[in-house]
Amino acid sequence: MITKTKDSLKWLEFELFQDLKALSHAIFLRSGGTSFPPYDSLNMGFSTDDNQECLKKNLDKALSVFKASRYQRGRLVHGNTVLEASDAKEALSDGLMTSEKDLALIITHADCQAAILYDPIHHALSAVHAGWRGQKANIYKEAVQAMQRRYGSKPQDLLVGVSPSLGPKHAEFKDWETLLPASFAKFRIGACHFDFWAVAEDQFLELGILKHHLEIAKICTFEENESFFSHRRDKITGRNATFAALR
């Protein structure tokens, strides 16, 4: 991944998307904001108990750097619902999609995966939040199929980037036989740790996404304290934000 900075903010971009002038994206790191501990400092989680004024300043600063005046945030419930952004409004949804230009789709996360799916043929976009519950419910399948129905997107045309998220070393599930589907057993490492990066890759490839059209960050949010919020590490914490917009 590529690190970029502006106005005290830092963000990551996928190498896969670097030559795409029609798509802007950013995975904002946690520095450069106004929030105080334990939400320091660029907290984007409006569902947290952070000061609302600080949250608004953080969002406005990120929108200014991203050059977006319009946005839609996902109302996350760890499910597998994917909605057209113009229809989402206040609806609960872990996935948003759009074909509108200059509309920033925003997904917040603290250990969960944020995935960007871009269709360069039909110029359509989806942004998806996927924790273990979302992957269990295969929200990535829902997103691909939703783009197929709405825009005519073909899986083999989609370009997909998956953000930094909880890595295998820290993804411990002692009750995995109860919590996770049997199909996830092949991604188990040792007694009860799981590689959800590999789960994502397997799910996307199964859907027909081409391997060279898929970039998974494989950066662990638990281990990178200065860059990422982590619910597994800190319990009470903020949220990073992934932005994506068509241009």
Least trusted range by pLDDT, from 12-26, 70-84, 146-160, 220-234: 70-84
pLDDT at 122 over 90: yes
Q: What sign does the dihedral 119-74-102-65 (CA atoms) show?
A: negative
Give per-residue pLDDT as tens, 46-60: 999 999 999 999 999
For the chain, domains (ranges, CATH) are: 2-246 (3.60.140.10)
Residue 90 has a pLDDT of 65
**Dist. CA 177–CA 198, nearest whole Å:** 18
Q: What sign does the dihedral 51-69-90-108 (CA atoms) show?
A: negative
Greater confidence, 75 or 145?
A: 145
Radius of gyration of the chain (CA): 17
Residue 86 has a pLDDT of 84
pLDDT at 221 over 80: yes
- Phi/psi of residue 241, nearest 5 degrees: -135, 135
User: Confidence class of residue 197 from pLDDT cuts 50, 70 and 90?
Assistant: very high
Q: Between 139-151 and 196-206, two packed helices, what is the crossing angle to 10 degrees? A: 30
User: Confidence class of residue 75 from pLDDT cuts 50, 70 and 90?
Assistant: confident
User: Which stretches of 61-167 are assigned E, i.e. beta strand?
Assistant: 70-73, 82-84, 95-98, 103-109, 113-119, 124-130, 159-162
